[in-house]
Amino acid sequence: MKEIRIHARAGQGAITTAALLGTAAFIGGKYALAFPHFGAERMGAPMNAFVRLSDQVIRLRSQVYEPDYLIVLDPSLMRGFDVFEGFRPGGVAIINHHEKVQCPKPIQNIKVFTVPGNDIATEVLGRPIGNTTILGAFAAATNEFGLESLQQAILERFSGEVAKKNAEAARRGYEYIKERCLR
Amino acid sequence: MRQYLEGSHAVAQIVRLCKAQVISAYPITPQTHIVESLAQMVADGELNAEFINVESEHSAASVVQGASATGVRTYTATTSQGLLYMIEVLYSIAGLRLPVILTCANRAVSSPINIWNDHQDSVTARDAGWLQFYAENNQEACDLHLMAYRLAEDHNIMLPVMVCMDGYILTHAYEVVDLPEQSQVDKFLPDFKPVHCLNPDEPISMGVLMGPESYTETRYAIHQTMMDALNVIPGIADEFEQVFGRKVNCLIEKYRLEDATQVFVAMGSMVGTIKEVIDGLREDGQKVGLLKIIAHRPFPKKIVYEALKNAREIAVLEKAVSLGEEGPLFSDVKSAFCGHGNQPKISGFVLGLGGRDITKKSILEVQDTLAGAQVDVKFIDLKI
Amino acid sequence: MIIPVTSKPRTSKANKTGTWRSGKKPHFIQKECIACRLCVMVCPEGCISGDKKCTYISDYKYCKGCGNCVAVCPVADIEMVKEEWWRETIS
């Protein structure tokens, strides 16, 4: 079973991100559990979404404390807060940022990818909403599901032009990782 | 068909498939997604129902009470403060023997204000005459709603049913759920035929004044019905399996209980986490098991006793406490042993209040404490 | 044993809502300012202070970057600017 922790602010689409991640895994034949955990009920409040992926039915309901994968949708969350808490050795982190990020602690065999998701999204979608781009990067960096599964999940979730553009943003995120010869 | 969707939306789909005709609910986190989904379906013409907007939960319950009394299938959903606000109506609905279905998206009660999950709301209503079921996961939540309509409208029962699912943990969780086809639901759930109903052509009054000379028998009748329901439920669960092709546990579920000397007893989503812990302990050679309680009311006392009688140590874990005494489920489990010769150690644990996360460590803390002296109330993960 | 479920007034001072800003903050140009004090009145945090003309400024420890002050200033003397958060500190 793989555990994923997503760091975001309320209103940035972390739940949609988790849902799309789970849907992509489901389309790829896995079981997935995705759920949010809120702090204050206001826009901009730091919050988490969690996802578990497995070949078997998922029964564990607690939050994720030792993630295999980390997704940070808003880099300002790293200000005075350790998003890498509990990060497992061998884990993969995707940070939505245009400046390189390093994990403050030495953890064995981790890979930290910094992807300018909001910049790519601004090009493709016209808005700096980098979730789908980051999900494309996640697919490429972890191989938990293919780009096709992710795009199908996106096309099911959204409709019309929004769906097509988000599917394209996902592809751009995917290629961003692939081009940098990682995996 | 297997789908990947949010728990709330899955339940809304089931309510649609069950063809509820009058829906009235007041929004309250974390139930909102269920009723928003149903309102959207009614607006889009996917569900042929009256969606009645009201200004409070008390009114929502009153609307479904009145509608059910006219012989239509109804639905409402609430939680926490909303449940407490409508509670006098809940007693009334049961007293009138109306088969109303209510989803409780379990949430803590104020004060202080807390919108996260625990079971204090629904256990507060356990004396009202409603059948109460607790879902471990969203598949079970869906299946229990299907069972709920079938049971409630059965002429041998004719009582309202509350399906409890943990707020956020289940309502807001995306999971794989097998949703049935309309034809299957139609086969399992026939049209609602009321025993009594308000009908201008054959007028009656419902809920009349009944003094000391007659009130007791009405309460006796509800109690007896709930006892009878324990016998009716398994047969209907078999019908469910035949129609939908999967088993539904409606009273209890036994997990690795056969040779278990230490047993955890619990309701709701924490059961999933406990099962994970048990598998780990079993790999270490420890003889541990779990008894999942699904029906809290009626409490399947005899079945619980039979399942637990060979255990040496029993830990009852719950997300509620009857302040000043002990956990309600703990009281119920202890009562199952009353009158029998054997008395294993039964200890009571309170955890997960106000949404405090229940982790594998929490369950191990329970196991550690269980090994010591018997306790009635031990708060787990306490920060004092 | 009583665990208080109360809070006293003025405790909001400890809550540095400046950390809520993400990406933009108001820049007080202090050139055309007429000291009308509309910005002071409209700020949801009450963190704008000033006295004479062109002395008005947000306390960035609390400013949430909502832009109300920019919207109401009758002489357009306040503008929202991008904030490079990783180069500034919130003291």
For residue A81, the enclosing domain spans 2-180
Is a pLDDT exceeding 70 seen at residue B353? yes
Is a pLDDT exceeding 60 seen at residue A132? yes
pLDDT, mean of residues B333-360: 96
Measured between CA atoms, how close is C74 to chain A, in angstroms? 28
Is a pLDDT exceeding 90 seen at residue A128? no
The average confidence (pLDDT) of chain A is 93
A63 touches chain B (CB under 8 A): yes
**Which pLDDT value is given to residue C89?**
42
B174 touches chain A (CB under 8 A): yes
Classify domain B2-244 at the CATH superfamily level. Thiamin diphosphate (ThDP)-binding fold, Pyr/PP domains (3.40.50.970)
> For the segment B48-62, what is each residue's pLDDT rounded down to a tens digit?
999 999 999 999 999
Is a pLDDT exceeding 90 seen at residue A160? yes
Q: What is the 3-state secondary structure (H, E, C) of chain B?
A: CEEEEEHHHHHHHHHHHCCCCEECCCCCCCCHHHHHHHHHHHHCCCCCCEECCCCCHHHHHHHHHHHHHCCCCEEEEECHHHHHHCHHHHHHHHHCCCCCEEEEEECCCCCCCCCCCCCHHHHHCCCCCCEEEECCCHHHHHHHHHHHHHHHHCCCCCCCEEEEEECCCCCCCEEEEECCCHHHHHHHCCCCCCCCCCCCCCCCCCCCCCCCCCHHHHHHHHHHHHHHHHHHHHHHHHHHHHHHCCCCCCCEEEECCCCCCEEEEECCCHHHHHHHHHHHHHHCCCCEEEEEECEEECCCHHHHHHHHCCCCEEEEEECCCCCCCCCHHHHHHHHHCCCCCCCCEEEEEECCHHHCCCCHHHHHHHHHHHHCCCCCCEECCCCC
Name the residue of chain A whose CA is nearest to C83's CA. Answer: A76
**Which pLDDT value is given to residue A181?**
62
C82 neighbors C24 (Cβ within 8 angstroms): yes
> For the segment B245-302, what is each residue's pLDDT rounded down to a tens digit?
999 999 999 999 999 999 999 999 999 999 999 999 999 999 999 999 999 999 999 9
**Which pLDDT value is given to residue C88?**
45
The average confidence (pLDDT) of chain B is 97
pLDDT, mean of residues B104-112: 97
**Which pLDDT value is given to residue B109?**
98
Give the closest residue to C53 by CA, choosing from C79, C73, C80, C26. Answer: C73
Answer positive or negative: Cα dihedral of B273, A28, B8, B129: negative
Least CB-CB distance to C22: which of A44, A80, A99?
Answer: A44
A41 touches chain B (CB under 8 A): yes
Strand partners, C27: C79
pLDDT, mean of residues B28-36: 97
Answer positive or negative: Cα dihedral of B331, B332, B336, B342: negative
The average confidence (pLDDT) of chain C is 88
pLDDT, mean of residues B303-314: 97
Number of domains in chain A: 1
Measured between CA atoms, how close is A121 to chain C, in angstroms? 16
**Which pLDDT value is given to residue C18?**
86
Which helix (H) or strand (E) segment holds residue A16: the answer is helix A14-27
**Which pLDDT value is given to residue A77?**
86
Give the closest residue to B265 by CA, choosing from B247, B239, B301, B292. Answer: B292
C19/A79 CB distance under 8 A: yes
Q: Domain B252-379 maps to which CATH number in 3.40.50.920, 1.20.120.420, 1.10.3720.10, 3.30.365.10?
A: 3.40.50.920
**Which pLDDT value is given to residue B171?**
98
A32 touches chain B (CB under 8 A): yes
CATH 3.40.50.970 maps onto chain B at 2-244
CA–CA distance, B63 with B73 (Å, rounded to integer): 12
A135 neighbors A149 (Cβ within 8 angstroms): no
B134 touches chain A (CB under 8 A): no
B256 touches chain A (CB under 8 A): no
The pLDDT-based confidence of C85 (bands split at 50, 70, 90) is: low
Report the number of secondary-structure helices (H) and strands (E) in chain A.
5, 6
> For the segment A16-48, what is each residue's pLDDT rounded down to a tens digit?
999 999 999 999 999 999 999 987 777 778 899
**Which pLDDT value is given to residue A124?**
96
The pLDDT-based confidence of A104 (bands split at 50, 70, 90) is: confident
Least confident of A96-110, B173-187, C49-63: A96-110
Percentage with pLDDT > 70 across chain B? 100
**Which pLDDT value is given to residue B217?**
98
pTM: 0.93
Least confident of B13-17, B43-47, B199-203, B340-344: B340-344
**Which pLDDT value is given to residue A99?**
85
Chain C positions in Cβ-Cβ contact with residue A99 (cut-off 8 Å): 86
Is a pLDDT exceeding 50 seen at residue C90? no
C22/A79 CB distance under 8 A: no
> For the segment C39-54, what is each residue's pLDDT rounded down to a tens digit?
999 999 999 999 999 9
**Which pLDDT value is given to residue B335?**
97
Least CB-CB distance to A61: which of B174, B176, B273?
Answer: B273
Is a pLDDT exceeding 80 seen at residue B70? yes
Residue-range domains of chain C with CATH: 27-90 (3.30.70.20)
Chain B positions in Cβ-Cβ contact with residue A61 (cut-off 8 Å): 169, 269-270, 272-273, 358
Give the closest residue to C29 by CA, choosing from C13, C53, C59, C46. Answer: C53
CATH 3.40.50.920 maps onto chain B at 252-379
pLDDT, mean of residues B133-138: 98
How many other C-beta atoms lie within 10 A of the C-beta of residue B272? Answer: 22
Tokens linked to B198 = 């308000």
Q: What are phi and psi of A32, to 5 degrees?
A: -145, 145
Least confident of B30-39, B191-200, C21-30: C21-30
Q: Where are the beta strands (DSSP E) in A38-143?
A: 46-54, 69-72, 92-96, 111-115
The CATH number of whichever domain residue A95 belongs to comes to: 3.40.920.10
Mapped onto helix, strand or coil, the DSSP state of residue A157 is helix
